[in-house]
Amino acid sequence: MSEGSKSLNFIEHIVEEDLSNGFAKEKLRFRFPPEPNGYLHIGHASSICLNFGLGLRYKAPVNLRFDDTNPAKEEQEYVDAIKRDVEWLGFKWDTECFASDYFQQLYDWAIVLIKQGKAYVDSQSSAEIAAQKGTPTEAGKPSPFRERSVEENLELFQAMKEGKFKEGEHVLRAKIDMASSNMLMRDPLMYRILHRPHHRTNTDWCIYPMYDWAHGESDYVEQVSHSFCTLEFAMHRELYDWFLDQVVDENKVRPKQREFARRNFSHTVVSKRKLLQLVEQGFVSGWDDPRMPTISGLRRRGYTPESLINFANTIGIAKRENVVDVSLLEFHVREHLNKIAPRVMAVLDPLKVVLTNYPEGEEEWLEAENNPEDEAAGSRQLPFSRELYIEKDDFKEEANRKFFRLKLGGEVRLKNGYIIKAESCTKDADGNITEVQCTYDPKSKSGSGTEESLRKVKGTLHWVSAPHAVSAEVRLYDRLFMDETPDGHKDRDFLEFINKDSLQVINAFVEPSLKNAVPEDRFQFQRTGYFNVDKESTSEKLIFNRTVGLRDSWAKIQQKN
RNA sequence: UGGCCUAUGGUGUAAUUGGCAACACAGCUGGUUUUGGUCCAGUCGUUCUAGGUUCGAGUCCUAGUAGGCCAACCA
């Protein structure tokens, strides 16, 4: 999170303006207000970085507030997952809050509104209320219960709270303006009856406040100075302010709501409803499936908190429609992983190589640098022997000059090892190459300093010594959706665009140093990509997830032909 | 057909608030390299349109156009 000379986004401009208009810096307070009805996704990461970033920038507290006013959808599991994700990103909240902490305060204020004639109990069905709401171009009609006496309202509301009615029998409504051009101001609901246990208040309440009534007042109770939410709440601002007007004390901070555009990402969906659908219908293994755009999915995939934060800061925040290209996210993981991931060798699609002039039964240990980008990472020993594995793609019987890899009669360098020359190959009955016979140049050992070792050979291949190789499961992921905007088609369901081949499980050979890798360890498999150890991995059965491939200019060259 | 919001390269954001349109990604071209990775250099724009104000407009004004949002006892 850099401060200072960096240009400001429009949200920061708003805060700066308030400050220069005399708002006390010490009174700045922000909040991140998730509803615990699902897991946090990459879009939330943006909002988290915005709010907590503001906290860091101005050294102001940031609350983590759970907007838990709907017991029908919310669960403790989600509260725990959200906390874990925010912590993993590295942010520290000032206070853990729950809208449900304010149920009593909200109830007391509702009584005040009733007494002032600004709220009333409506005893119609939701369908009747909806019918009276009017349309954007015509005014609504007042409810027949709109003019109930204060006494009757008080009595009914009390009875609602005491559980004397069934769900849907009555609601509490604010009395505002049935003719407002803003539909939300046409006597919005403040409370509904819900006979459901709440994850925190259990059965203490059977009436629950609606979002609009709870949110602004919660901000006010917590003395949040700036309440940032997404654009679809822009119309709610008038109501947010109206509710605040009813309770605000001039000596206290009056929260200010402002809206920004939510981030959309190419080739995925970020709607909790749709993500839940992917989980429930089994398109993925769970909320933390590495293909999910959830924070927990990205974590399991091998993304780092730093890369997510850098990504969020790079895409910034604004008010216009947007679709952020996933390649930008991939750039940021690569950028970070390039610095921190130890390089190792793993062969994903093995082809056997026999060094015919290397003594049978002999082995030697070669020194290998752990990370050319980080000297402090040190080096390790790698076993070398007569039989090796290389990638199938790295050998061709014949190829043109652009192919820098191994071909019959051609030479390549084995990374950290020797220069070898392909002499012949054997094939099975179907013509598939099953083995390549090579000779090696014993004087060409990497790092030996000999004239032969200094020879320039165009290609360098990664490899694994066959007798020392450790087998491992490798999970290769591709985008979950084939379409750039799967939920951007009015007449087609986003599930139609699911990529059936988004997960490919293969068996690979990895170098023996990987035997001790534990879940969440990250590596660069040289020349192939970044991988991390899956949570299901054990010492008996290693499992790696591909976080992201390396940039592959060879693939581009091939595509052109 | 009412109200609110938005419009800057292929993508996402900037522009000292009226003063040479910038940064990153992606793409393309080269160079370096014991990872076809990294790194380095170069390249890619009529600021939605039309008028207006001004010495000067991405920024201000007017009119249009396009897109998004708003009528859940969801948040």
Helices (H) and strands (E) in chain A, counts: 13, 27
Q: Looking at the domain assignment, is residue A239 inside a domain?
A: yes
> Is residue A35 annotated as part of the catalytic site, yes or no?
yes
How far is the C-alpha of A72 from the C-alpha of A168, rounded, in Å? Answer: 14
The 10s digit of each residue's pLDDT in A242-261 is 999 999 999 999 999 999 99
Domain count across chain A: 4
A94 and A221 share one domain: yes
| pLDDT at residue A49 is higher than 70 | yes
pLDDT attached to residue A202: 97
Q: Looking at the domain assignment, is residue A360 inside a domain?
A: yes
Which parts of A are annotated binding residues for L-glutamine?
Answer: 67, 211
| pLDDT at residue A4 is higher than 70 | no
pLDDT attached to residue A3: 38
Most distant pair of Cα atoms in chain A: their distance: 102
Q: Looking at the domain assignment, is residue A15 inside a domain?
A: no
A289 and A198 share one domain: no
| pLDDT at residue A5 is higher than 60 | no
- Angle CA A251–A54–A29, to nearest 5: 20
Mean pLDDT in chain A?
Answer: 95
Q: Looking at the domain assignment, is residue A550 inside a domain?
A: yes
Half-sphere CA count of A293, side-chain side, radius 13 A = 25
Q: Which of A200, A237, A262, A291 is catalytic?
A: A262
The answer to whether A326 and A499 are in contact (CB under 8 A) is: no
The 10s digit of each residue's pLDDT in A419-436 is 999 999 999 999 999 999
The answer to whether A230 and A260 are in contact (CB under 8 A) is: yes
Q: Please identify residues in chain A, positions 42-101, with a C-beta within 7 angstroms of any atom of strand B.
A: 67, 69-70, 72-73
Closest CA to A64 of A13, A39, A29, A27: A29
How far is the C-alpha of A132 from the C-alpha of A138, rounded, in Å? Answer: 10
Q: Please identify residues in chain A, positions 428-457, with a C-beta within 7 angstroms of any atom of strand B.
A: 445-447, 453, 456
Other beta carbons less than 10 A from residue A137's beta carbon: 6
CATH of the domain at A529: 2.40.240.10
A83 and A218 share one domain: yes
ipTM score: 0.95
A25 and A89 share one domain: yes
Confidence of residue A386 (pLDDT cuts 50, 70, 90): very high
Q: Which bases of strand B sit closer than 7 A to a protein CB?
A: 1-8, 10-15, 17, 24-28, 34-39, 67-75
pTM check: above 0.80? yes
| pLDDT at residue A263 is higher than 60 | yes
β-strand partners of A65: A97
Where in the sequence is the domain holding A250, given as residue range(s)? Answer: 21-100+213-323
A353 and A453 share one domain: yes
Lowest mean pLDDT among A6-10, A188-192, A356-360, A393-397: A6-10
A443 and A537 share one domain: no
pLDDT attached to residue A58: 96
Lowest mean pLDDT among A138-152, A227-241, A378-392, A488-502: A488-502
Q: Looking at the domain assignment, is residue A332 inside a domain?
A: no
The answer to whether A298 and A42 are in contact (CB under 8 A) is: yes
pLDDT attached to residue A2: 36
A203 and A221 share one domain: no
The 10s digit of each residue's pLDDT in A449-465 is 899 999 999 999 999 99
A125 and A182 share one domain: yes
A230 and A198 share one domain: no
pLDDT attached to residue A492: 86
> Is residue A272 annotated as part of the catalytic site, yes or no?
yes
How far is the C-alpha of A82 from the C-alpha of A41, rounded, in Å? Answer: 10
Confidence of residue A491 (pLDDT cuts 50, 70, 90): confident
β-strand partners of A389: A352, A464
pLDDT attached to residue A560: 75
Residue A187, both tokens: 């006597």
